[in-house]
Chain A
């Protein structure tokens, strides 16, 4: 899996705020806006350039009481989607 052993970090080109449980993300260069749902918001707030993908999955598993497999698959799907929009990038764990 692409995400294993990687650390996601937010693009410096985004601005964002969580309002009433939903994160609103502005892509400053494109003046485009994306709103995340509750779970997306939870993951988004965990992305700090230090936590690894694995740590995020563990947190999701505990917070939403789902199996590790499901948390892994869905977190990866979500991260891939927002990575495709240029909102996050990946770096290697050092």
Chain B
């Protein structure tokens, strides 16, 4: 008979990993966008209007049957799709827990009401600066910052969870504190990143736009941001959930292990999700062993590293290398962590030598 409702989430999550249940998905509904951000990982490929509604609905039906619970909708700009609320409404009808990733410029009172009716987990909004000149220069649209701020306020007025996501680059680094305080004042979660993802077409000059190592370290020290060292510093800890219990669907209907891992596993226009998910493409990918990460085997930064096979693929054309972006950030984390430890007088841990290609 019924027992108490239990909080066995992590156990169940592990089960989805073990059984390769596609539990978490991200879906790029379109790539067309009303902004022209100069760091956009889509590069110049921003003209895809996405799959037709009927196809999307049939994929949603299949995903619900296969056990997908979490689904993030991203673009391009998702609200440019005329049928966006039909897609999102249908996914709620099928009981998915949804997140919306948007540049927020198209959210007015009416859209905010419709979003509220969807009960999303969150609306994740890109905000690059509180100074409108800087934000607008990054997005390439004058007035875009004002629209984003308006949207955030409209969403918060309805008590919708908002997550501000900011990629910090040379151009907007000075905006860290203004954005942080804005988020605090408005009950908004603040997530930030320093890793610029190179575009497939090579159209982003990462080294020109991205931050220096010392600049990233300063952000952490000045803001007293804690960096933790993973307890499990074995190579296995570098493996992520991509393709194991999570997936990415591109605007043209291709299935990938992750948004950053552009290894096309098959087309949902030609095959059903389950066929691709259980195909040798995916199974071979899942068979990758962390010991295969040839650059990482002797590395002392494993405990600080958010290793990404996708970045390695972009940089080296293979999944098993180490992306210089990951290595750089891992070194930053190590420095920040150790500085903090020595400041507070804790014993310094011995680390083996760092990888030679850093």
Chain A interface residues (CB < 8 Å from chain B) = 12-20, 22, 24, 26, 28-29, 31, 33-37, 39-40, 43, 64, 66, 70-71, 74-75, 77-78, 81-82, 85
| Majority DSSP secondary structure for residues of B touching A | loop
User: B2 contacts A74, CB within 8 Å?
Assistant: yes
How long is the Cα–Cα vector from A37 to B97 in the complex, in angstroms? 20
Shortest CB distance A14–B (Å): 8
Q: Does B67 contact A (CB under 8 A)?
A: yes
The distance in angstroms between the C-alpha atoms of A64 and B2, with both chains bound, is: 11
**Residue pair A35, B119 in contact (C-beta under 8 Å):** no
When distances are taken between beta carbons in the complex, the residues of chain A under 8 Å from B67 are 17-20
The size bracket of the interface on B is 20 to 34
B195 close to chain A: CB less than 8 A: no
Complex Cα distance, B291 from A37, in Å, reads: 38
In the complex, which residues of chain B have a beta carbon less than 8 angstroms from the beta carbon of A78? 2
Task: Check B69 against A16 for contact (C-beta < 8 Å).
Answer: yes
Q: Which residues of B contact A66 (CB under 8 A)?
A: 1
Which of B8, B16, B67, B97 has the most CB atoms of chain A within a 10 A radius of its CB?
Answer: B97
**Can you list 8 A-B pairs, Cβ within 8 angstroms, ordered by A?**
A15-B96, A17-B96, A19-B69, A26-B97, A35-B11, A39-B2, A66-B1, A75-B2
- A77: chain B residues at CB < 8 Å are 2
The 8 closest A-B pairs by CB, nearest first: A15-B97, A78-B2, A17-B69, A74-B1, A35-B8, A26-B97, A28-B119, A39-B2
Q: Mark B1-20, 1 if CB is under 8 A from A, else 0.
A: 11111111101100110010
Q: Which residues of B contact A (CB under 8 A)?
A: 1-9, 11-12, 15-16, 19, 21, 23, 64, 67-69, 92, 95-98, 119-121, 159, 161
* Chain B residues whose CB sits within 8 angstroms of the CB of A26 once the complex forms: 69, 97, 121
Is the beta-carbon distance between A43 and B119 smaller than 8 angstroms?
Answer: no
Given A24-B69, A35-B9, the answer on whether A19 and B23 have CB atoms closer than 8 Å is yes
Residues of A within 8 A of B2 (CB): 36-37, 39-40, 43, 74-75, 77-78
With A64-B1, A70-B1 known as contacts, the answer to whether A28 contacts B97 (CB < 8 A) is yes
B83 to chain A, nearest CB (A): 21
Q: Judge whether A35 and B12 touch: CB under 8 Å.
A: yes
Known contacts A15-B95, A26-B69; is-contact A81 B4 (Cβ 8 Å)? yes
Most buried by B among A28, A64, A71, A75: A28
Q: Is the CB of A24 within 8 A of B9?
A: yes
Chain B residues positioned under 8 Å from A33 (CB to CB): 7, 9
Interfacial chain A residues near B92, Cβ < 8 Å: 15
The answer on a CB contact under 8 Å between A28 and B121 is yes
Contact B69 A34 (CB under 8 A): no
Provide the residues of chain A in CB contact with B4, threshold 8 Å: 81
